[in-house]
Chain A
C-alpha cells in the first residue's frame, strides 16, 4: 500500500492567516492526489482533485500544488468556517489511502 504522511498533525492559526499543509507519498503518485475537508460529525468534502484542480463550489482561497511524492494544500486568508480537519488521499493505486489528517484549530 502507498503510505501518505501529512504534516503537521495539528496547527493553530488566526482568521486571516495563510496556512500550508503538506502531504508526502511513499512512492511517486504523479498527480493522483486529492484533498478533503472534514468538520466534526460531517462527511469529508472534496476540495482539490488531481493535485491542483479546484472542485466546483470551493472558494478560491484553497489551492493545491505538487506532483510525484510531495504535495501542498494552501489556504490563503483563513476564514472561521475553515477550522476543520484536512486529509490528503492518493488514488494512483488501490487500495486508495488517506493521510492521517491535519486539524486546523483557532489560535
Chain B
C-alpha cells in the first residue's frame, strides 16, 4: 500500500525558507514522478511542481524563482523548499505521486500539512 507523509515546521517567519519533506512507503521513489501542491485557506488547489525519476524538475512559473524540489533516493523521500515566504504562502501543502504518463493523474497524496507564515 502506497503511503505519503509530509513533515516539517508548521510555522515559518516571513522572508525565511519553508522546508518540507515527504516520506514515501510502499513504492520506490526511483520509479515515479513526485510533486507538491498547496491549498490556500478556504481556496482551491495550486500545483507547485514535480521532480521526475531522472531528477528533472518542473515548476509552476508563479513560484519558479523561489521553489526547489529535490529527492533523496536513499531515504525514499523528496523535499520542497520555498524561499522568501510571505503571508500569501500560508497554506496546506500536499505531496503526491505522479507518473511519466501524465494522463494517469496524481494517484496518491499525503494527508497534507498546514504551514503558517507569521512573525
Contact = CB atoms under 8 A, between A and B. Distances in A.
A104 to B, nearest CB: 15
Interface string B56-86: 0011111000000000000000000000000
Contact of B106 (A1, A32, A34): A34
A72 interface: no
A100 B105 contact: no
Interface SS of A by simple majority: loop
A44 B109 contact: yes
A72 to B, nearest CB: 17
Given A94-B60, A96-B47, 17 more contacts: A1-B61, A32-B103, A34-B105, A36-B106, A43-B94, A43-B111, A44-B94, A46-B107, A50-B105, A87-B45, A89-B45, A89-B47, A91-B102, A91-B105, A95-B60, A96-B102, A99-B44
What size tier do the contact residues of chain A reach? Answer: 20 to 34
A45 interface: yes
Interface residues of B, number: 21
A95 B61 contact: yes
Interface string A48-83: 011000010000000000000000000000000000
13 contacts: A1-B61, A44-B45, A44-B94, A44-B106, A45-B109, A46-B106, A49-B105, A50-B104, A55-B105, A55-B107, A87-B45, A95-B47, A96-B102
B59 to A, nearest CB: 8
Interface of A: 1, 31-32, 34, 36, 42-46, 49-50, 55, 87, 89, 91-92, 94-101
A91 B103 contact: yes
Contacts of A46: 105-107
B44 to A, nearest CB: 5
A87 to B, nearest CB: 6
